[in-house]
């Protein structure tokens, strides 16, 4: 394995840089005539609202600003550097052409309240993108408004509310069912939308326990939130029966689209009976994650739920595109304006680049890659594969470090950290919660076989090290910008530092 | 007649079949998908002891397998994609083609080249949430600096690393106040952005928090303190004001409002346009417990209204911090104590750990927009932000002055101090009519607010920033003069 060493700059906090009087940017001067006309600034603002002392921001030259942030950037791993097998996050390649197009002034300089005559181009893109996403998910109509997957979940749960309210059943339908393998956002979104969360356990195959589901379903059921393939990467084969159980009870079926990448062009949530579907644009459609966001979380719904979607909706009269606010049953708005347009435009470009065949290929190769990794990692013999070992997975697979831990004391966290030393980002650790010491691995379609092999080799080495020289694994990482961080201290009320100001206060107090 | 043996026929077909398959496979090898290349794919299939990929989908019940091609365009080359999208975007007219005087929650400000350059660095752009802090120090330190800079600007102790936008931040603030006080009512100004109001009610309705609107003073638009006294009670979870307000005037009674709120055990929430804080008093100085706002002006393009940047800051009491929504980055040290480092903190508030009891469901946020804001604030520094605040104030006052000299226009409708935005009342003439005629002059006027606030008559909301030159403003004034002189239709 080639050596890896991340850059380390020991870079001060920006507040420690600069010097009084330095300037990073010159603000355009106000024309003399304007000053003559309106007079002194002091007369224009209410005395008691004028800022008395300048904000204590650092004073830096442009050059220092660029160096500081460039140095910071060098201490950050990213998809363009290599394998990033974070399960559930679909860290695929982010095409450069999509970024380039998203930076056109014909998009960046558009104001959302411009006259419809002047925004026909962007409305066309949004309208068509909505249609494409509806086709991909098998839904009737799509809203592009939510800013992320979880925001889509909130919208979806609110649509359930609105649906039951209109049908007079909201006061009884207080429960939203969520599998124990679900992502944390599912129960959190359900609570935000005012529902009580009911957990349904998984069966021995890692799928929803259908008998347990029947038991918890009742007249109180508002709906069920499900990921399919689920967070173990297993396709919920009983989806027909699950849909039947929920629909017969008068509930709605919600699709968490985090794993849509596995089935693009192969199967559609709408066809499986899902009534509401969110899409994580930043996962499935290759838009950059930006170190945590922005993403976009469009929501598609079946025909019966169309009238609840947020306003405005982009509509087409055959000649022109319009923003339609006249939707009496709408749930209203989940944010200002129309959605994360800069992200959505990239998704439009992505779909156009791949086309129907390319999207299907993406799904297929993501599944091929995941099953290839599954086989190769299982062959190492050090990591356990929970649930049906014979069964194919879809786009991701989940291993457990439990056995290795018992044998050597090395945990999923330690394995993750040691992988960093090999210049590979760790898988998602400790999720889903139903797998002890979980490592959730999603290679996506973007990585070549040689890189997958390198990952397998790294996993093998870590297992060997765990047995031979466990200290190497336990004290990892050593090759990253910093070694293991004290996360306990970071979150302890007595020691936590959440801003530079807090740091200064603590320093003063300790003097 | 040539007679083929069955064996030869079969061989021949197989050869044709294989070359067909190969050609097909070649055709679909895509630049983004390395292993779609035929030989690699075959070797991996062989490794899995299967013949084709569909065998990996046998667990999908047959009736749900899509038997047709998705009804989408066919694969396109990069140059085709570029040409296609550029030709559609060309149909837009932007503020580079005509001066646009729109604001109302999304504002035209200059984005320095340094900001653009830094946030396009692939190490920041194509990274995920920093779940592995040791290999993600860049993003973590940057976001810690963002939080710290926001604290300095707003006068607060703690900030999170972003929410989706101002509107959803308001929703989250109301819910946080509800959790902290156990009360179900929040007092808001009657003059509030309708989209923020709509989002707020979306966030509050499921947990039965009610919004009560406090009246405004007729002449000034400011909070009517009497109305506030009438409405505030021990049921009030929070009092919310915006500064500058939706209609651009500066709410100067911050301290008085804070006192009323605090006297009744309620929180005081202030919503800000942060670009004003180089010259205006920070909410932390007049009693704010929570400060929210729209960070887009700090280094982010308008992008047709998204992505935006929800600012969320609060005072430093531990009870407040425990109820914060969203991700927070903290400064710590390495375990050996030798070096500084950064990581996500207080994750027990968040959905992935606390699940249905989390303080919010937010997961992906607007990190890169926060990063842009951090670079922007670092670049401008205190003097840049002050200069910018002054420029915006002077330019927008110049616009008000010029327009108010025109017969048939009253601006602003309130006798208050304004920043960046102001109301323009057209007396006799419909806002839409004036707007359409302005477009003929290649000028885009402000937002028509005559249906959202009928009580203000035929009024538009105009916005002037550092991006509007004196010439742009003069052109607007001249065009309006001409239009209003022409008489109505
Ligand atoms: C299964 C699953 N559901 C939902 C989400 C939430 O999506 P977002 O981060 O876009 O809000 C995630 C993201 O990590 C996920 O993996």
b or e along B3-39 (b: 16 or more beta carbons within 10 Å of the residue's beta carbon)?
eeeeeeeeeeeeeeeeeeeeeebeebebebbbbbbee
Which residue shows structure tokens 């959190």? A188
- Is the pLDDT score of B223 beyond 80? yes
User: Which of these, B249, B246, B296, B247, lies nearest to B271 by C-alpha position?
Assistant: B246
Any idea how long chain B is? 489
Q: How far is CA A348 from CA A126, A205, B78, B229, in A?
A: 8, 37, 13, 52
Which residue shows structure tokens 């049906």? A388
- Is the pLDDT score of B487 beyond 80? no
A55 touches chain B (CB under 8 A): yes
Q: Answer yes or no: are the C-beta atoms of A420 and A432 closer than 8 Å.
A: no
A129 touches chain B (CB under 8 A): no
Asked if residue A432 has its Cβ within 6 Å of ligand 1, the reply is no
Q: Whose CA is nearest to atom 8 of ligand 1?
A: A149
* Confidence category of residue B118, pLDDT binned at 50, 70, 90: very high
| Chain A residue closest in CA terms to B138 | A72
- Is the pLDDT score of B26 beyond 70? no
- pLDDT tens by residue, A258-280: 999 999 999 999 999 999 999 99
What is the Cα–Cα distance from A144 to A70, expressed in whole angstroms? 34
Query: Percentage of chain A with pLDDT > 90?
Result: 96
Distance A150 CA to ligand 1 centre (A): 6
Residues of A whose CB is below 8 A from B71:
135, 356
| pLDDT (0 to 100) of residue B5 | 57
* Confidence category of residue B85, pLDDT binned at 50, 70, 90: very high
What is the Cα–Cα distance from B277 to B256, expressed in whole angstroms? 20
The structure tokens listed for A220 are 């109180």
Residues of B whose CB is below 8 A from A360:
69-70
Residue B37 DSSP code: S
Q: Whose CA is nearest to atom 14 of ligand 1?
A: A89
Mean per-residue pLDDT for A299-313? 98
- Is the pLDDT score of B17 beyond 80? no
Residues of B whose CB is below 8 A from A113:
102, 104, 106, 447
From the candidate CATH numbers 1.10.3720.10, 3.30.420.80, 3.30.70.100, 3.40.640.10, the one assigned to the domain spanning A100-352: 3.40.640.10
Q: Answer yes or no: are the C-beta atoms of A242 and A208 closer than 8 Å.
A: yes
The structure tokens listed for A428 are 């998602």
Q: Closest ligand 1 atom to the C-alpha of B362?
A: 11
The structure tokens listed for B150 are 């926001």
Q: How far is A399 from chain B (nearest CA, A)?
A: 18
* Confidence category of residue B27, pLDDT binned at 50, 70, 90: low
Q: Answer yes or no: are the C-beta atoms of A412 and A463 closer than 8 Å.
A: no
Q: Select the residue of B76, B135, B159 nearest A425 (Cβ to Cβ).
A: B135
What is the Cα–Cα distance from B400 to B373, expressed in whole angstroms? 29
Helix ranges, A217-269 (H)? 239-248
| pLDDT (0 to 100) of residue B106 | 98
Mean per-residue pLDDT for B463-472? 97
- Is the pLDDT score of A153 beyond 60? yes
User: Which of these, A450, A376, A365, A263, lies nearest to B38 by C-alpha position?
Assistant: A365
| pLDDT (0 to 100) of residue A475 | 96
Query: Phi/psi at B237 (nearest 5 deg)?
Result: -80, -40
What is the Cα–Cα distance from A456 to A462, expressed in whole angstroms? 10
A109 touches chain B (CB under 8 A): yes
- Tell me the CB-side half-sphere exposure of residue B347, using CA atoms within 13 A: 13
What is the Cα–Cα distance from B213 to B278, expressed in whole angstroms? 29
What is the Cα–Cα distance from B195 to B198, expressed in whole angstroms? 5
Interface test with A, best of B149, B330, B398 (most A CBs within 10 A): B330
- Cβ atoms < 10 Å from Cβ of A494: 7
Cα torsion B258, B259, B262, B266: sign? negative
Residues of A whose CB is below 8 A from B365:
148, 292-294
The structure tokens listed for A10 are 């020991």
Residues of B whose CB is below 8 A from A103:
116, 120
Residues of A whose CB is below 8 A from B157:
498-499, 501-502
- pLDDT tens by residue, B370-381: 999 999 999 999
| pLDDT (0 to 100) of residue B19 | 52
Q: How far is CA A415 from CA A365, A456, A466, in A?
A: 26, 13, 9
- Is the pLDDT score of B6 beyond 60? no
| pLDDT (0 to 100) of residue B353 | 86
Asked if residue A87 has its Cβ within 6 Å of ligand 1, the reply is no
- Residues facing A178 on adjacent strands: A199
B351·A151 Cβ contact <8 A: no
Q: Answer yes or no: are the C-beta atoms of B280 and B273 closer than 8 Å.
A: no
* Phi and psi based region of residue B455 (left: phi greater than 0; alpha: psi -120 to 50; beta: remaining): alpha
Question: What is the domain class of A364-485 according to CATH?
Answer: alpha beta
- What's B306-329 look like in SS3? CCCCEEEEECCCHHHHHCCCCCEE
Q: How far is A406 from chain B (nearest CA, A)?
A: 24
What is the Cα–Cα distance from B123 to B237, expressed in whole angstroms? 42
Mean per-residue pLDDT for B296-318? 98
Mutate to test the pocket of ligand 1, among A146, A151, A185, A343 (most ligand atoms within 8 A of CB): A185
B385·A57 Cβ contact <8 A: yes
What is the Cα–Cα distance from A310 to A331, expressed in whole angstroms? 6
B40·A149 Cβ contact <8 A: no
- Chain A 353-372, CB below 8 Å of chain B: which residues? 353-362, 364-365, 367-369, 371-372
Average pLDDT, chain A: 97
B345·A490 Cβ contact <8 A: yes
Asked if residue A442 has its Cβ within 6 Å of ligand 1, the reply is no
Mean per-residue pLDDT for B29-55? 96
What is the Cα–Cα distance from A444 to A85, expressed in whole angstroms? 8
What is the Cα–Cα distance from A499 to A505, expressed in whole angstroms? 10
Angle between helices A62-74 and B367-404 (to 10 degrees): 150
- Is the pLDDT score of B104 beyond 90? yes
- Cβ atoms < 10 Å from Cβ of B352: 18
Any idea how long chain A is? 511
Q: Closest ligand 1 atom to the C-alpha of B361?
A: 11
Average pLDDT, chain B: 94
All domains in chain B, ordered by first residue: 16-64 (no CATH), 113-377 (3.40.640.10), 381-486 (3.90.1150.10)
Q: Select the residue of B353, B361, B394 nearest A153 (Cβ to Cβ).
A: B361
Mean per-residue pLDDT for A121-141? 98
Q: Closest ligand 1 atom to the C-alpha of A152?
A: 11
| Chain B residue closest in CA terms to A198 | B356
| pLDDT (0 to 100) of residue B16 | 56
The structure tokens listed for A232 are 């173990």
Strands A141-143 and A299-301: antiparallel
Distance B443 CA to ligand 1 centre (A): 43
User: Which of these, A444, A267, A97, A393, lies nearest to B33 by C-alpha position?
Assistant: A444
Q: Select the residue of A38, A94, A272 nearest B398 (Cβ to Cβ).
A: A38
Q: Answer yes or no: are the C-beta atoms of B306 and A340 closer than 8 Å.
A: yes
Q: Whose CA is nearest to atom 9 of ligand 1?
A: B364
User: Which long-range contacts (C-beta less than 8 Å, at least 24 apart) are formed by B320-323?
Assistant: B320/B158, B320/B180, B320/B289, B320/B290, B321/A498, B321/B158, B321/B346, B322/B346, B322/B349, B322/B359, B323/B176, B323/B179, B323/B180, B323/B349, B323/B359
Distance A151 CA to ligand 1 centre (A): 10
- Is the pLDDT score of B10 beyond 70? no
What is the Cα–Cα distance from B128 to A288, expressed in whole angstroms? 8
- pLDDT tens by residue, A57-109: 999 999 999 999 999 999 999 999 999 999 999 999 999 999 999 999 999 99
- Tell me the CB-side half-sphere exposure of residue B450, using CA atoms within 13 A: 18
Domain boundaries in chain A?
14-82, 100-352, 364-485
Cα torsion A266, A272, A275, A280: sign? negative
* Confidence category of residue B2, pLDDT binned at 50, 70, 90: very low
User: Which of these, A371, A441, A363, A372, lies nearest to A400 by C-alpha position?
Assistant: A441
H/E stretch holding B44 reads helix B38-47
| pLDDT (0 to 100) of residue B354 | 87
Lowest mean pLDDT among A468-482, B16-30, B71-85: B16-30
Lowest mean pLDDT among A318-332, B24-38, B208-222, B294-308: B24-38
Asked if residue A185 has its Cβ within 6 Å of ligand 1, the reply is yes
| pLDDT (0 to 100) of residue B1 | 43
What is the Cα–Cα distance from A188 to A182, expressed in whole angstroms? 11
């Amino acid at each position: 394995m080639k050596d890896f060493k991340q850059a380390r700059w020991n870079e001060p906090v920006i507040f420690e840089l600069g010097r009084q009087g330095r300037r990073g940017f010159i603000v355009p001067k106000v024309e003399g005539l304007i000053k003559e006309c309106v007079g002194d600034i002091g007369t224009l603002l209410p005395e008691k609202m004028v800022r008395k002392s300048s904000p204590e921001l650092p004073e830096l030259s442009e050059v220092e600003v660029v160096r500081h942030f460039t140095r910071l950037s060098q201490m950050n791993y990213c998809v363009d550097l290599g394998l990033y097998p974070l399960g559930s996050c679909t860290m695929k390649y982010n095409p450069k052409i999509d970024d380039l197009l998203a930076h056109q002034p014909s998009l960046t300089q558009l104001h959302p309240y411009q006259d419809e005559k002047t925004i026909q181009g962007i409305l066309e893109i949004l309208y068509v993108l909505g249609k494409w996403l509806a086709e991909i998910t098998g839904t009737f109509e799509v809203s592009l408004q939510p800013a992320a997957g979880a925001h889509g979940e909130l919208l979806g749960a609110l649509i359930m509310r609105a649906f039951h309210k209109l049908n007079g059943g909201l006061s009884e339908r207080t429960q939203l069912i969520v599998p124990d393998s679900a992502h944390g956002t599912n129960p959190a979104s359900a609570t935000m939308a005012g529902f009580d969360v009911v957990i349904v356990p998984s069966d021995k195959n890692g799928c929803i326990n259908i008998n347990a589901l029947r038991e918890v379903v009742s007249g109180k059921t508002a709906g069920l939130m499900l990921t399919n393939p689920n967070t173990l990467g297993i396709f919920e084969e009983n989806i027909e029966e699950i849909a039947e159980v929920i629909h017969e009870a008068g509930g709605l079926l919600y699709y968490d689209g985090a794993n849509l990448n596995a089935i693009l062009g192969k199967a559609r949530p709408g066809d499986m009976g899902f009534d509401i579907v969110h899409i994580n644009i930043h996962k499935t459609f290759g838009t950059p994650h930006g170190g945590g966001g922005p993403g976009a979380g469009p929501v598609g719904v079946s025909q019966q739920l169309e009238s609840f979607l947020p306003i405005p909706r982009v509509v087409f009269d055959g000649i022109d595109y319009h923003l339609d606010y006249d939707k009496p049953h709408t749930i209203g708005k989940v944010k200002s304006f129309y959605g994360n347009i800069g992200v959505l435009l990239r998704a439009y470009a992505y779909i156009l680049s791949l086309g129907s065949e390319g999207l299907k290929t993406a799904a297929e190769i993501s599944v091929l890659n995941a099953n290839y990794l599954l086989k190769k990692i299982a062959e190492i013999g050090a990591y356990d594969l929970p649930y049906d070992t014979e069964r194919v997975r879809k786009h991701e697979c989940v291993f457990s470090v439990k056995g290795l831990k018992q044998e050597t004391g090395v945990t999923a966290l330690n394995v993750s950290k040691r992988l960093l030393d090999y210049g590979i980002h760790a898988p998602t650790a400790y999720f889903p919660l139903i797998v002890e010491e979980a490592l959730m691995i999603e290679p996506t379609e973007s990585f070549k076989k040689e890189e997958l092999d390198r990952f397998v080799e790294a996993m093998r080495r870590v297992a060997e090290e765990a047995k031979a020289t466990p200290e190497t694994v336990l004290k990892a990482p050593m090759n990253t910008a910093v070694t293991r961080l004290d996360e306990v201290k970071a979150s302890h009320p007595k020691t936590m530092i959440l801003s530079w100001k807090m740091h200064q206060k603590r320093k003063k107090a300790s003097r | 007649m040539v007679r083929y043996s069955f064996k030869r026929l079969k061989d021949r077909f197989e050869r044709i079949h294989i070359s067909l398959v190969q050609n097909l496979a070649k055709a679909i090898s895509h630049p983004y998908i390395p292993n779609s290349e035929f030989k690699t794919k075959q070797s991996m299939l062989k490794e899995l002891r299967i013949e084709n990929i569909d065998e990996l989908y046998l667990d999908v019940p047959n009736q749900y397998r899509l038997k047709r091609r998705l009804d989408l365009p066919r694969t396109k080359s990069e140059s085709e994609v570029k040409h296609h999208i550029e030709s559609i975007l060309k149909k837009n007219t932007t503020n580079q083609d005509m001066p646009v005087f729109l604001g109302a929650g999304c504002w035209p400000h200059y984005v320095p080249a340094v900001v653009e350059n830094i946030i396009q660095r692939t190490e920041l752009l194509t990274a995920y949430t920093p779940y592995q802090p040791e290999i993600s120090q860049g993003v973590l330190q940057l976001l810690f600096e963002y939080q710290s800079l926001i604290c300095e600007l707003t006068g607060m102790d703690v900030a999170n690393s972003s929410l989706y936008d101002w509107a959803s931040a308001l929703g989250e603030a109301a819910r946080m106040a509800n959790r902290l006080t156990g009360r179900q009512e929040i007092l808001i100004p009657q003059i509030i952005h309708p989209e923020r109001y709509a989002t707020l009610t979306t966030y509050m309705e499921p947990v039965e928090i009610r919004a009560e609107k406090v009246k405004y003073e007729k002449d000034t638009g400011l909070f009517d303190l009497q109305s506030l006294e009438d409405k505030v009670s021990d049921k009030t979870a929070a009092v919310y004001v915006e500064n500058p307000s939706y209609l651009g005037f500066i709410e100067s009674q911050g301290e008085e409002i804070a006192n009323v709120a605090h006297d009744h055990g309620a929180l005081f929430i202030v919503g800000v346009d942060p670009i004003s804080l180089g010259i205006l008093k920070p909410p932390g100085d007049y009693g704010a417990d929570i400060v929210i706002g729209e960070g887009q002006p700090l280094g982010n393009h308008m992008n047709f209204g998204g992505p935006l940047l929800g600012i969320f800051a609060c005072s430093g009491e531990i009870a407040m911090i425990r109820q914060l929504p969203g991700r927070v980055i903290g400064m710590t040290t390495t375990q050996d104590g030798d070096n500084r480092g950064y990581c996500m903190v207080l994750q027990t508030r968040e959905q992935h750990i606390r699940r249905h009891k989390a303080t919010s469901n937010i997961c992906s946020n607007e990190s890169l927009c926060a990063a842009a804001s951090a670079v922007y604030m670092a670049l401008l520094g205190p003097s840049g932000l002050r200069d910018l605040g002054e420029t915006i104030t002077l330019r927008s006052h110049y616009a008000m002055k010029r327009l108010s000299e025109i017969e048939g226009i009253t601006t602003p409708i309130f006798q208050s101090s304004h920043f960046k935005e102001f109301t323009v009342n057209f007396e006799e003439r419909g806002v839409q009519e004036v707007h359409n005629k302005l477009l003929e002059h290649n000028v885009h006027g402000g937002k028509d607010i005559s249906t959202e606030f009928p009580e203000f008559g035929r009024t538009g909301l105009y916005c002037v920033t550092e991006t509007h030159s004196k010439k742009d403003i003069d052109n607007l004034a001249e065009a309006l003069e001409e239009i209003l002189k022409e008489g109505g239709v």
